């Protein structure tokens, strides 16, 4: 009798253990140990991992990255398409996720068909990802979108242009895209992964900052400050996706082939009547040979909080997010020097070093300081492309 009871108890324990194991298999979790709502229960899934631009995959060039602001790296919506590599318009899976707020890494589990999951040898796949598509007017991209349509998708004239410049990140974030190509599928049913399984998202727009100051010794009085970007600088459209993954060690521009350029010189909306703060030695904030992050830190420390205990050394008169361009960006900073003898209008020109330097995912800082004469001395930090033999390019991905 005792032996029978023992056998019954062992049977119950085995059943309980089996139920616990099955429950563990059927409860999808992300890396943080919480339930992952993107993973369908009981369905075959393909898992990939997204890396937001603030968490780049480590490369030799990774020392060149500059931190983004919290708003610049936020991801609110995600769309992911998976296509067969050899039959590129044969879709394997699609998913849309919204009401997100994450930085760093994100696990995405996409439902795949039983037919695909049961293939003894699964075809390699291409993975296309868009984040914050609403920020650039591409809401129509969705489940029925083909690979050809994704490749042709463009950020058009109404978004991130010079005629309608974006000077702050909206609640929809900044547009980002990423590609993972020709990936082997592996795993144990019902969970599969792309062999590399991670997609690096890249911001599809570029950023320019205008920083000004003057010396505390004999500071001029400045008014009527304005910044004009020359005509034919920004293309009317750029592609959302590059051809292939984003290159770490070279700049790549991908504007729509037949795009014209915004034909008018454009006044950028700088801060109205900004207070131009002063510092003891303006040349201390000029770029020398430091890394991009160190220079960014130096500029940000000089800006400080105007409502804080210490007056800032620098003034950021404008920051703008624009479509990338294969042109050599240039323009003028105009202002009036106010003196007892009368007012005098002056200008200073800014210009990039090389055509094509204003590429997606880059930042460009134009720093200038007013001399006692009222002249504006510009110290422009030029963008320099990644090269195999250079670990210290001048301006860095952000």
Same domain? 230 vs 321:
yes
Same domain? 232 vs 376:
yes
143 within some domain: yes
Cα 78–Cα 167–Cα 275 angle in degrees, nearest 5: 150
Domain boundary among 203, 236, 261: 203
Residue 48 near residue 194, CB atoms below 8 Å: yes
| CA–CA separation, 39 and 57 (whole Å) | 24
- pLDDT tens digits, 147-160: 999 999 999 999 99
- Residue 249: how many CB atoms within 10 A of its CB? 15
Q: How many domains does the chain have?
A: 2
46 within some domain: yes
Same domain? 173 vs 40:
yes
374 within some domain: yes
**For residues 154-190, b (16+ Cβ closer than 10 Å) or e, as one string?**
bbbbebbbbeebbeebeeebbbbbbbbeebebebeeb
Residue by residue, DSSP assigns 14-77 as: HHHHHHHHHHHHHS-B-TTSSB-TTS-TTS-EEEEEEE-TTSPPP-GGGGG--PPPTTTT-B--
Same domain? 212 vs 299:
yes
Same domain? 125 vs 43:
yes
| CA–CA separation, 38 and 40 (whole Å) | 6
Average pLDDT score over the chain? 82
Report pLDDT for 258: 78
| CA–CA separation, 357 and 259 (whole Å) | 18
307 within some domain: yes
- pLDDT tens digits, 383-392: 444 343 344 4
Where is average pLDDT lowest: 38-52, 88-102, 297-311? 38-52
| CA–CA separation, 26 and 292 (whole Å) | 46
Report pLDDT for 121: 92
253 within some domain: yes
Same domain? 263 vs 188:
no
Mean pLDDT computed over 32-53: 67
Same domain? 266 vs 345:
yes
Report pLDDT for 379: 78
Structure tokens at 44: 């075959």
| CA–CA separation, 290 and 163 (whole Å) | 34
**Taken in order 3, 4, 5, 10, is the CA torsion positive or negative?**
positive
Strand-pair category, 330-339 with 342-351: antiparallel
Phi, psi of 220 (to 5 degrees): -80, 160
Residue 54 near residue 185, CB atoms below 8 Å: no
| CA–CA separation, 109 and 126 (whole Å) | 16
Phi, psi of 129 (to 5 degrees): -130, 135
**Matching residue, tokens 């510092």:** 279
| CA–CA separation, 136 and 157 (whole Å) | 10
CATH for 287: 2.60.40
Name the percent of the chain lying above pLDDT 90.
Answer: 54
- Closest to 103 (Cα-Cα) out of 166, 176, 205: 176
Question: What is the model's pTM?
Answer: 0.82
Report pLDDT for 249: 53
Domain boundary among 203, 227, 252: 203
Report pLDDT for 192: 94
Same domain? 221 vs 265:
yes
CATH for 119: 2.60.40.2580
| CA–CA separation, 243 and 61 (whole Å) | 21
- pLDDT tens digits, 166-190: 999 999 999 999 999 999 999 999 9
Same domain? 223 vs 120:
no
Mean pLDDT computed over 314-341: 93
Report pLDDT for 31: 31
Same domain? 165 vs 189:
yes
Look up the domain containing 33 and give its range. 27-203
Residue 143 near residue 81, CB atoms below 8 Å: no
Name the percent of the chain lying above pLDDT 70.
Answer: 80
- Closest to 202 (Cα-Cα) out of 359, 23, 38: 359
What is the H or E stretch that residue 147 is in? helix 147-152
Report pLDDT for 273: 84
179 within some domain: yes
């Amino acid at each position: 009798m005792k032996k029978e009871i023992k056998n019954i108890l062992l049977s119950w324990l085995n059943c309980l253990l089996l139920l616990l194991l099955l429950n563990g298999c059927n409860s999808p979790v992300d890396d943080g140990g919480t339930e992952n709502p993107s993973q369908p229960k009981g369905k075959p899934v393909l898992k990939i991992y997204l890396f937001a631009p603030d968490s780049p995959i480590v490369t030799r060039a990774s020392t060149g990255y500059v931190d983004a602001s919290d708003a610049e790296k936020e991801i609110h919506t995600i769309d992911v398409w998976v296509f067969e590599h050899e039959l590129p318009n044969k879709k394997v899976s699609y998913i849309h996720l919204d009401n997100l707020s994450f930085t760093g890494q994100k696990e995405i589990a996409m439902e795949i068909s039983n037919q695909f999951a049961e293939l003894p040898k699964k075809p390699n796949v291409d993975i296309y990802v868009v984040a914050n598509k609403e920020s650039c007017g591409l809401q129509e991209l969705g489940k029925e979108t083909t690979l050809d349509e994704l490749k042709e998708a463009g950020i058009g004239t109404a978004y991130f242009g010079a005629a309608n410049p974006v000077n702050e990140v909206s609640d929809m974030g900044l547009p980002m895209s990423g590609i993972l190509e020709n990936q082997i599928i592996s795993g144990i049913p019902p969970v599969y992964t792309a062999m590399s399984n991670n997609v690096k998202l890249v911001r599809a727009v570029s950023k320019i900052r205008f920083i000004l100051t003057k010396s505390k010794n004999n500071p001029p009085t400045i008014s009527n400050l304005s910044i004009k970007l020359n005509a034919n600088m920004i293309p009317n459209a750029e592609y959302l996706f590059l051809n292939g993954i984003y290159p770490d060690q070279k700049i790549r521009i991908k504007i729509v082939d037949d795009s014209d350029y915004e034909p008018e010189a454009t006044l950028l909306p700088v801060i109205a009547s900004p207070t131009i703060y002063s510092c003891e030695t303006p040349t201390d904030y000029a770029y020398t040979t430091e890394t991009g992050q160190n220079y960014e830190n130096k500029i940000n420390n000089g800006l400080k909080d105007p409502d804080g205990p210490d007056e800032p050394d620098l003034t950021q008169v404008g920051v703008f997010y624009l479509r990338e361009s294969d042109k050599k960006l240039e323009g003028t900073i105009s202002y009036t020097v106010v003196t007892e003898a009368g007012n005098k209008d002056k200008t200073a020109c800014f210009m990039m070093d090389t055509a094509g330097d204003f590429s997606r995912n880059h930042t460009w800082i134009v720093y200038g300081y007013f001399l006692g004469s009222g002249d504006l001395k510009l110290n422009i930090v030029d963008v320099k492309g990644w090269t195999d033999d250079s670990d210290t390019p001048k301006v860095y991905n952000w």
